[in-house]
Amino acid sequence: MRFAITGGNGFLAGYLIDELLQNGHEVVLLSRTEGTKKNIGFSVTDYSEESLDDIFAKEKLDGIAHLASSRKVADRFSFYQGLIDSTQNLYRSAEKNGIRNIVYTSSISVYSGEDLPYSESQPPAPTNMYGLYKLTCELIGTMCNSRGMRIKNLRMAHLYGANEKNDYMINRFFRQAHAHEQLTVNCVSVAKREMLYTKDAARGIRLALEHPELSGTFDIGSGQALTNEEIAKTICEVMSPELEVCLGDGVETIKSSYMSSAKSGECLGFVPKYTLRDAVVEIEASMGGTR
C-alpha cells in the first residue's frame, strides 16, 4: 500500500517511515520545507487546499497519516488556528480525490479528571489549549466521517523517543543520564502518567492505516503508568547506574493521566511492545551508549 505522511520532516514521521517501509509499504512525504530523506517521494506544500489537490491528484494513495502538528502548549487558542485550517484543507482535498483512509494523531491531552484509566467512551475534557486544539481536529474528522470518510483519531499517550531536541522532563533526563550528570525530581512523586515510545506509536499508526474500513477514536498507550521518580530511576538504572536520583522539596503540579488501549487491541490488533526500560536501552544505544 502507498501512504502519505504529513509533517514528513517531523520527529514521529522518522519512526513511521521506518515502520511502513519495513512492513512493505510505500511512502510519500509532505512538508512545508524540502526533505532530506533519500529515495522517498517528497512534496513541498503550504497545506492549502489547492496545493494538496495538486499532490493528491497525481499520487495514487491508499491512505494518509496526518502528523503535521505542534507539541507546544500555548496559552491562546489562536496559536493553533493555522494547524486547524490545514487539517480541514487536508480532509476536504482527500475527500475530493477519493482518499477516505486517514489517521490523525491526537493526544491524551483531550482527557482529564479522576476517572482512570481514560477510555474512548468518556466525554473529552481538555484542560489546556493544546488539548482543545487536538479535540477540535478530532471533531472535524468526525464530521467528515458522517459523509463517508474513514478518519481514525489516535489518542496517543505522552510521547518520547531518541534525540528529541526539546527540554521536556524525560528528554532532559536522557541527556543528563547519558552524560552521567545528576538527575533531580523536584518532589516526591505520586501522580502516574502513561509514556509511549515513538516506535510503538508508529506501529499503532501503521496498524490503523492497514484498516481502511474503520473510523472513529482509538487510544494508543504503553499500558505502563509511572511517576516522575520512577521514570528518572529507570533512566538512571540503564544509563548511569552509579547515580542516585535526588528528590527536591517542591510541590507536584501534575495529575495522573493514563488510558486503556483495549479498543485498539481488539479493533486494530495493537499491543505495545516496549516498556520504558526496553526503550531506554535502545535510546542509550542511539546516543552512543556502550551498555
Output the nine-digit C-alpha cell for 97.
480525490
Q: Is the pLDDT of residue 236 over 50?
A: yes
Give domain 2-157+198-221+259-273's CATH number out of 3.40.50.720, 3.30.930.10, 3.40.640.10, 3.40.50.1010.
3.40.50.720
Annotated domain spans of the chain: 2-157+198-221+259-273
Residue 29: which pLDDT band, with cuts at 50, 70 and 90? Answer: very high
Give per-residue pLDDT as tens, 58-108. Answer: 999 999 999 998 888 889 999 999 999 999 999 999 999 999 999 999 999
CB-based burial label for 5 (10 Å; 0-12, 13-18, 19+): buried
* pTM recorded for the entire structure: 0.94
Instruction: Tell me how far apart the alpha carbons of residues 211 and 118 are, in angstroms, rounded to a whole number.
Output: 23
State mean pLDDT over 113-120.
95
The 101-107 sheet, strands edge to edge: 41-44, 26-31, 2-6, 63-66, 101-107, 150-156, 216-220
How many Å apart are CA 201 and CA 155, to the nearest integer?
A: 10
pLDDT at residue number 229: 95
